[in-house]
A and B are shown apart, each in its own frame.
Chain A
Amino acid sequence: MRWKFHIPLGLAIAFIVVAPAIFGSFTITLMNYIGIYAFAVLGLVLLTGVGGLTSFGQAAFVGIGAYATAWYTAVQGGSPWIGLLLALLLTSLVATVLGAATLRLGGHFLPLSTIAWGIAIFFLFGNIDAIGRYSGLSGIPAITVGPISLSGNVAMYCFIWGLLGIVMLLCRNLLDSRKGRAIRSLRGGIAMVESLAIDSFRMRLAVFVFAGMLAGLAGWLYAHMQRYVNPAPFDIRPSIELLLMALVGGAGHIAGAVVGAAVITLLKNTLQDVLPLFTRYSAQLEVVVFGVLFVVILQKARAGIVPMINRYLPRPPLALPAQVPPLARRARPIVSGQPVLTIHGTTKRFGALAAVNDVSFEVKAGEVLGLIGPNGAGKSTLLNLITGTAKADAGRIMFLDHDLTKLAPHHIAANGVARTFQHVKLRPNMTLLDNALLGTYSRTRSGFLAGAIRLDRNEEKSAQFEALQQLKRVGLGEKAAELAGNLPLGQQRLLEVARALAADPVVVILDEPAAGLRSLEKQILSQLLRTLRNEGMTIVLVEHDMEFVMNLVDRIVVMDFGSKLAEGIPADIRAEPRVQEAYLGGVA
């Protein structure tokens, strides 16, 4: 009975459809504004709630869109539809430049610079003669669709809410696709994102530009509904109000955009009626109220309204994928015993400390290589160098015939090197299936557009099937629909292994996979790694559980104080006096 999960949505749509028949002109105008804000807020939902970035300049993007079409239609006498293209083009251009400048830096540089440039653009609007300086531009024509002019209140209402419905549907589809999953994974550190072959910088840029375009679309609608633009609605204060809408509604949810826009617009409307009774500076007191409201919401209810409501609604069960054509496997042109990874004279210094000092060894195709050593020996740093998370100061790291030394982590991952992390990196608010699906990113191709209009369904089903298979392999198949954050630590490690396997890697690098696992889970993992080796996968393993290592691996490299101490088969390593000394502090 899937229909009952759609009752709230159905009611909302029914309300919007019948609204023009019930409400008067004032309310419809108010709802038009809510709809227009919802476009801009939707951009912030994707940016802030989903992507983990924030912009204090969203209203400035709305302004760019509004002014672009206002100038083109009112001053140049052009068509609003060309004005729309211009609005989208200009907002995406500005967003690209700003994003390219700030998205490589730390997380707070983007919001900070958006404050600065949001103000700059307000002054710019107010000082350009061609767009009417502070008095703005009037005489903007209404939008026409074929023979119908959207100059009327209700006509505009239908257009705005119809368009909003379509855009929200596209966004929902997008978030449920390959690229959308990548966007959802951006929040919470990029080391994991990059290790999945996702170019985190480009993904952030894409979200930022997309959010800007949604704002541009809002600006276009705004200009043609108001038929007049001036700089004031695009200052920094309206930007903050848009952000407040996103947070109130529920920054992680598409529906939050509409809910937030409606709540704040109605609240603002009420305040404008009530506050003048108390003070002649009602506009300023409104700002104070919003400021305080903001702080209270962030302190007490950071998730917003939509998640609060969602808690009381039934959740549709996860439809697990049936038997479908599998994803294509990676080409693996490797003879057993041929070197897959070659670490050659690699050195990494942190200040005066050489964490990895002139280390060389080879990893051969189809073997399980154990990398052991006391704490602080440089094992994890070496793994970070191989996977590109850290850059070596000297030496070369080759993977087949690719030089990995200078490559970005997502390129290395795309080449077929998958990894897990010593400190588990998952997305606790995503399901196990989604977490595992992230691993298939490098094996799938669907882009943003394909995701938004659902051309990706066949590939998506295959990817889901693959992810589920890997979950089953590590013993988590039953829990596929649960949130990853609810797993105990040991199973979170296994989930990381499943995610790595979903990438169908040539080499899989496991950083302490058995830590925190119970005895039975260790046996399952050990058995799984043996199966993988038999299938021709190459495995590099850092592990402290010596029993686990000695029973599993083909060869061992021992590190101590950043240098390679010994290399050989487990029996030899066990007998090696220098290794005993490193571990036990001298036997003799």
Chain B
Amino acid sequence: MTWEIALLLAQDGISTGAIYVLVALGIVLIFLVTRVIFVPFGDVVGYAALTVAALQLRQMPGTVWLVLTLAAIATVMEAYGLARRGQMHRVPKALLLYAVLPTIPAVLVWLAAGRDLPIWLGIALTLAIVMPISPLLYRIAFRPLADASVLVLLIIAVAVHFAMSGLALLYFGPEGFRSEPITGALFELGPITISGQSILIVASSVVFSFLLFLFFERTLAGKALRATAVNRVGARLVGILPSTTGATAFLLASALAGICGILIGPVTTLYYDSGFLIGLKAFVGAIIGGLVSYPAAAAGAIFVGLLESYAAFWYSALKEVFVFSALIPILIWQSFTSAGGIEEEIEEEEREGEA
């Protein structure tokens, strides 16, 4: 390997890693606030990328039907729940949140599909329609079990992923898509050429990570999220509703997923199930960061990007094996460096419904 190739691989790895950073941040965010390990995150990324591509091909993206279906289920669940508790006066607000709000972007995309759209409009519409997906999933699948153990929530997350990826095949078909690059610029930097798209990815990653940081540090909503992450019961005692912070976390994560999908769409050909692997690799990055620290998760994600890039050069077919196997030595290292005290363990007692 010449050092030109090494540099090329490094820049490739860093730009992939930058995508993983955003995904990893979203995963850590959701985990800390709701204790859900949100496996379908990658699927949302995939939906975003395929939506951009479908709009550019003047097709109707299946995301419209997904959002409408989810909105319908969530509305029914919410309305039923409110009716059963006799809180009919809260129904209008629930209808606004779960029926009207998600329907607006769906209708917009439905109207826009099939027309010649400027690239920015396609991106804006995609972002708008992807936003409601995760909060709706949260309402439907996770919130009814908000107090279950991390394990049960994880199993649900995996199940949701399978449903999502099955639906993606129904909506988008088995063909691969690649959307048009947002910028076609190329930059000569010594011996290597860097594409404007790569620079855009890295820059977006930095900017959005910083915005997330500002959100947590400077806004009340961000602080409420942090408070929930530190102590759910305590947060509840000072009037922070876990269901609200949960929905906020999922909304933020959805936005991050949308951005990731839009950025990665032009870089590789994506299939209905590609998002899952993107999500899992970001996971490996997040786990390297111990699932608790945002900067560590970001560093881990960059590492995964680099590892993948170099592994692809040497043994293209085995690159997934490399990335996922890297987890094992990392976990061994973590298990020997972690404090090891058992007193801080959260005891999760599961009462089964049996007599």
| Residues A123 and B352 in contact, CB atoms below 8 Å apart | no
- The answer to whether A188 and B349 have CB atoms under 8 Å apart is yes
Task: Report yes or no: B348 in contact with A116, Cβ–Cβ below 8 A.
Answer: no
- Select one of B154, B348, B355 contacting A311, CB under 8 A: B355
- From the candidates A111, A287, A485, name the one contacting B154 in the complex (CB within 8 A): A111
What 0/1 readout, one digit per residue, does chain A (74-117) give for beta carbons within 8 Å of chain B? 00000000000000000000000110111111111101110111
A112-B283, A120-B320, A281-B170 known; A302 vs B353 contact (CB < 8 Å): yes
Q: How many angstroms from the CA of A389 to the CA of B347 in the assembled complex?
A: 14
Binds B, one of A16-24, A189-197, A534-542: A189-197
C-alpha gap A429/B349 in the complex (Å)? 10
A517 CB to closest chain B CB (Å) equals: 22
* CB <8 Å contact, A109 and B349: no
Given the complex of chains A and B, what is the CA–CA distance between A105 and B327 in angstroms?
13
A390 at the interface (CB under 8 A from B): yes
A542 to B161, CA, bound (A): 50
Q: Is the CB of A288 within 8 A of B335?
A: no
- Checking B156, B277, B287, B321 against A298 with a beta-carbon cut-off of 8 angstroms, the contacting residue is B156
Q: How far is the CA of A563 from the CA of B277 in the complex (A)?
A: 54
Q: Evaluate contact between A56 and B158: CB separation under 8 angstroms.
A: yes
Question: Taking A288-B167, A295-B141, A301-B353 as contacts, is the C-beta distance between A190 and B162 under 8 angstroms?
Answer: no
Docked pose: A11 CA to B283 CA in angstroms:
48
**A281–B154 CB distance below 8 A:** no
Main secondary structure of the interface of B (DSSP, over half): helix
B353 and A119: CB pair below 8 A? no
Given known pairs A102-B331, A188-B350, the reply for A240 and B280 (CB within 8 Å) is no
Chain B residues, Cβ within 8 Å of A490 = none
Closest to B150 in A: A108
Interface mask (A366-400 → B, CB under 8 Å = 1, otherwise 0): 00000000000000000010000111000000000
* B169 close to A (CB within 8 Å): yes
Q: Closest approach, in angstroms, between the C-beta of B179 and any C-beta of chain A?
A: 23
Which residues of the other chain, B, contact A428 by a CB distance below 8 angstroms?
A: 349, 351
A290 within 8 A of B: yes
Q: Does A270 contact B (CB under 8 A)?
A: no
B159 to chain A, nearest CB (A): 3
Min distance, Cβ A84 to any Cβ of chain B, angstroms = 27
Task: Check: A477 CB closer than 8 A to any chain B CB.
Answer: no
CB-nearest residue of chain B to A134: B317
CB-contact partner of B332 in A100, A127, A188, A191, under 8 A: A100
Tell me which residues from 158 to 184 in chain B have a Cβ below 8 Å from any Cβ of chain A.
Answer: 158-167, 169-170
B325 at interface by CB-CB < 8 Å: yes
Which residues of chain A come closer than 8 Å to B335, judged between CB atoms? 101-105
B334 within 8 A of A: yes
When the two chains form the complex, which single residue of B287, B343, B348 contacts A191, counting CB atoms closer than 8 Å?
B343
Of the four ranges (under 10, 10 to 19, 20 to 34, 35 or more), the interface on chain A belongs to 35 or more
Q: How far is the CB of B65 from chain A (nearest CB, A)?
A: 13
Give Cα A98–Cα B343 distance, bound, in whole angstroms: 25
A54-B351 CB under 8 A given contacts A105-B331, A119-B320, A281-B170: no
CB distance from B147 to the nearest CB of A (A): 12
Q: Which residues from 58 to 80 on chain B have a C-beta closer than 8 Å to any C-beta of chain A?
A: none
Q: What residues of B have a CB within 8 angstroms of the CB of A429 in the complex?
A: 351-352, 354
**Quick check: is B230 within 8 A (CB to CB) of the other chain?**
no
Q: Name the distance in Å between A115's Cβ and chain B's nearest Cβ.
A: 7
Knowing A104-B335, A119-B320, the reply to whether A291 touches B162 (Cβ < 8 A) is yes
- Interface code B319-355, partner A: CB below 8 Å = 1, 0 otherwise? 0110111011101101110101111010111111111
Contact between chains at A299 and B324 (CB < 8 Å): no
Across the interface, do B331 and A101 meet the contact criterion of CB distance under 8 Å? yes
Interface check A310, CB cutoff 8 A? yes
In angstroms, Cα B283 to Cα A165, docked, is 40
Taking a contact as CB atoms closer than 8 A, the residue among A187, A291, A389 that contacts B163 in the complex is A291
A505 contacts the other chain (Cβ, under 8 Å)? no
Chain A residue numbers with a CB within 8 Å of B121 are none
Complex partner residue of B348 from A112, A124, A189, CB under 8 angstroms: A189
Give, as a whole number of angstroms, the nearest-CB distance from A21 to chain B.
36
A451 at the interface (CB under 8 A from B): no
A105 with B338: in contact, given A117-B325, A187-B350, A279-B170 (CB under 8 Å)?
yes
Known: A107-B151, A291-B159. Is A97-B37 also a contact (CB below 8 A)? no
Nearest-CB residue, chain A, relative to B35: A108
Tell me whether A113 and B347 are in contact (CB under 8 A): no
Asked if A284 and B170 sit within 8 Å, CB to CB, the answer is yes
Residue pair A123, B170 in contact (C-beta under 8 Å):
no
The residue that B287 contacts in the complex, of A109, A120, A189, A237, with Cβ under 8 A, is A109
B341/A54 in contact, CB under 8 A: no
**Interface size bracket, B side:** 35 or more
Q: Judging by beta carbons under 8 Å apart, are B170 and A189 in contact?
A: no
Taking CB atoms, residues of chain A closer than 8 Å to B321 are 120-121, 123-124, 127
Q: Which residues of the partner chain A approach B5 to less than 8 Å between Cβ atoms?
A: none
Instruction: Kindly state whether residue B145 has any CB partner on chain A within 8 Å.
Output: yes
Contact B343 A307 (CB under 8 A): no
**Min CB gap A131→B, angstroms:** 14
Chain B residue numbers with a CB within 8 Å of A189 are 345, 347-349
B-side contacts of A115, CB under 8 Å: 39, 158, 280, 283
Q: Which residue of A has the minimal Cβ distance to B164?
A: A291
Which one of B154, B163, B166, B347 lies within 8 Å of A108 (CB-CB)?
A: B154
A307-B332 CB under 8 A given contacts A112-B154, A284-B166, A389-B343: no
Which residues of chain A come closer than 8 Å to B156, judged between CB atoms? 294-295, 298
How many angstroms from the CA of A100 to the CA of B277 in the assembled complex? 25
CB of A380, distance to nearest CB on chain B (Å): 10
A167 is an interface residue with CB less than 8 A from chain B? no
Nearest CB of A to B271, in Å: 12
Q: Please report which residues of chain A, range 280-305, place their CB below 8 angstroms from some CB of chain B when the two chains form the complex.
A: 281, 284-288, 290-292, 294-295, 298-299, 301-303
Among B155, B323, B341, B350, the residue within 8 A (CB) of A294 is B155
Chain A CB within 10 A, most for which of B152, B169, B335? B335
B174 → chain A, closest Cβ, in Å?
8
| B324–A285 touching, CB < 8 Å | no
* B185 close to A (CB within 8 Å): no
In whole angstroms, what is the CA distance A190 to B344 when docked? Answer: 11
CB distance B354 to A190 under 8 Å? no
User: How far is the CB of B57 from the nearest CB of chain A, in Å?
Assistant: 20
Contact B166 A291 (CB under 8 A): yes
A106 to B348, CA, bound (A): 12
In the bound assembly, the distance between CA atoms of A292 and B318 in angstroms comes to 32
Residues of chain A within 8 A (CB-CB) of B351 are 428-429, 485
**A281 and B325 alpha carbons, distance in the complex (Å):** 32
Inter-chain contacts of B340 with A (CB < 8 A): 104
- Would you call A252 an interface residue if the criterion is a C-beta within 8 Å of the partner chain's C-beta atoms? yes
A108 to B169, CA, bound (A): 29
Chain A residues with CB below 8 A from B352, complex form? 252, 302-303, 307, 429
Judge whether A480 is part of the interface by a CB distance below 8 angstroms: no
A83 to chain B, nearest CB (A): 24
- Contacting pair A117 B327 (CB below 8 A): yes
Could you jot down 30 A-B contacts, CB within 8 Å?
A56-B158, A97-B328, A101-B331, A104-B336, A105-B334, A105-B335, A109-B287, A113-B327, A116-B283, A116-B284, A117-B324, A117-B325, A120-B321, A123-B318, A123-B321, A124-B318, A189-B348, A292-B163, A294-B155, A294-B159, A295-B140, A295-B141, A295-B156, A299-B145, A303-B353, A307-B354, A389-B341, A389-B342, A425-B347, A429-B354
Can you name 16 extra interface pairs (CB under 8 A) apart from A191-B343, A284-B166, A286-B166? A98-B328, A100-B332, A104-B338, A105-B331, A107-B150, A107-B151, A112-B287, A119-B277, A126-B317, A188-B349, A188-B350, A191-B342, A281-B170, A288-B167, A292-B163, A390-B343
List chain A positions with a Cβ less than 8 A from chain B.
Answer: 52, 54, 56, 97-98, 100-109, 111-113, 115-117, 119-121, 123-124, 126-127, 187-191, 194, 237, 240, 243-244, 247, 252, 279, 281, 284-288, 290-292, 294-295, 298-299, 301-303, 307, 310-311, 384, 389-391, 409, 425, 428-429, 485
| Smallest CB-CB A-B distances: 9 pairs | A291-B163, A294-B159, A189-B347, A120-B324, A287-B166, A288-B166, A104-B335, A307-B354, A291-B162
